Copies of this chain bind each other. A is one copy, B any other.
Amino acid sequence: MRVTVLSGGVGGARFTRGLLALLRERLPDGSGGTTAQVTVVANTGDDMWLHGVRVCPDLDTLMYTLGGSVHEQQGWGRRDESTRVADDLAAYGLGGEWFTLGDLDLATHLARTALLRSGLPLSEVTQRLCARWSPGVRLLPMSDDEVETHVVTDGGTLHFEEWWVRHRAAVPARAFVQVGVADAAPAPGVLEALASADVVVVPPSNPVVSVGTILGVPGIREAVRATPAPVVGVSPVIAGAPVRGMADACLTAIGVATDAAAVARHLGLRADGGVLDAWLVDDADAHAVAPLRAAGWRAAAAPTLMTDVAATARMAAAALDLVGVAP
């Protein structure tokens, strides 16, 4: 069974970890693995050059989470992290201290930067980094081309990470601009992973700056719309609030209500020109199911808080059940 996931950082990584647990449980191949192939297409719009190294927050969060080395409470970065380099770097007064540059994380950034500088594309670099972590999925950047999400505010334009991490998304965003996206091409394997999937999943990632950015790469939205596989999404909004992070600030900026059904309508039904066939909401939003069904959606409610891997696996099962895909 081939599953393709369009993922941002923490939410997508945790969802995928649950999905893998489900597949391992349901599809034992005798070796402790599964007969499923999961491809994760990761948002790279949050990537940035910081102090001369290339930082890819979502790829790293996926790699660490699926590779078993993530800082569990934090959701991103490495366990047992330290900041010896960053503390010393601050003494040079170059700024940039708002972004935590952990020592162990820095090792990843250095390895990535070295490989990129040697001329390898990000997809190949990612594969080499994953050789260390064995994430159990094929991890693909959405594009090998540099795309950077910038945030337009009344005070000027910021890199998304600066807006998100430094300002905690508290400065009102007027618009998001994906610099470079018009000239970006999907990374090798992305379109094929969509075309050949048995199911495409949109995990509870930020619908604007994670999923929206991936879909903005020319060719990807079209491939999602064209795939013969069903496309099922899980709401990142529960009871009118983002499960994690500040997705509400992103939704507000583009005029979408922070509401499970509103997010579904924003991403849209494939029959109506959108990218989804089905939408899983939390039990707290069960009231949204009937109206969505009336509008042509396959919709259901289930517990969607990813409190642990087992709960996340059950939620992944509910998503697959919704589109009739039984691993």
Contacts and interface: CB of A to CB of B under 8 A. Distances in A.
Contacts of A129: 92
B51 A111 contact: yes
A107 interface: yes
Interface stretch (A20-28, A114-122, A266-274, A290-298): A114-122
Given A92-B132, A129-B92, A132-B93, A116 B52 contact: yes
A317 interface: no
Interface stretch (A81-89, A193-201, A221-229, A238-246): A81-89
Given A52-B52, A53-B53, A89 B107 contact: yes
**By DSSP majority rule, is chain A's interface helix, strand, loop, or mixed?**
helix
Given A85-B107, A103-B103, A106-B85, A91 B52 contact: no
A25 to B, nearest CB: 30
| Copy count, this protein chain | 2
Interface string A94-132: 101000000110111011111111000000000011011
A75 B108 CA distance: 29
A88 B114 contact: no
A283 B115 CA distance: 51
Contacts of A84: 82, 84, 103-104
Contact of A94 (B49, B91, B92, B111): B111
Given A82-B84, A85-B104, A103-B85, A51 B92 contact: no
A65 B89 CA distance: 18
A125 to B, nearest CB: 11
Contacts of A89: 107, 110-111
B132 A107 contact: no
A110 B53 CA distance: 8
Contacts of A115: 94
Contact of A52 (B53, B85, B93, B132): B53
Nearest to A131: B93
A258 to B, nearest CB: 37
Contact of A117 (B52, B103, B110): B52
Given A84-B82, A84-B84, A52 B92 contact: no
Given A49-B117, A89-B110, 9 more contacts: A51-B111, A51-B113, A51-B114, A52-B117, A84-B103, A86-B107, A89-B111, A93-B132, A94-B111
22 contacts: A50-B114, A51-B110, A51-B113, A51-B114, A52-B52, A52-B110, A82-B84, A84-B103, A85-B85, A85-B103, A85-B106, A85-B107, A89-B110, A89-B111, A91-B132, A92-B107, A92-B132, A93-B131, A94-B115, A96-B114, A103-B103, A106-B106
Interface of A: 49-54, 82, 84-86, 88-89, 91-94, 96, 103-104, 106-108, 110-117, 128-129, 131-132
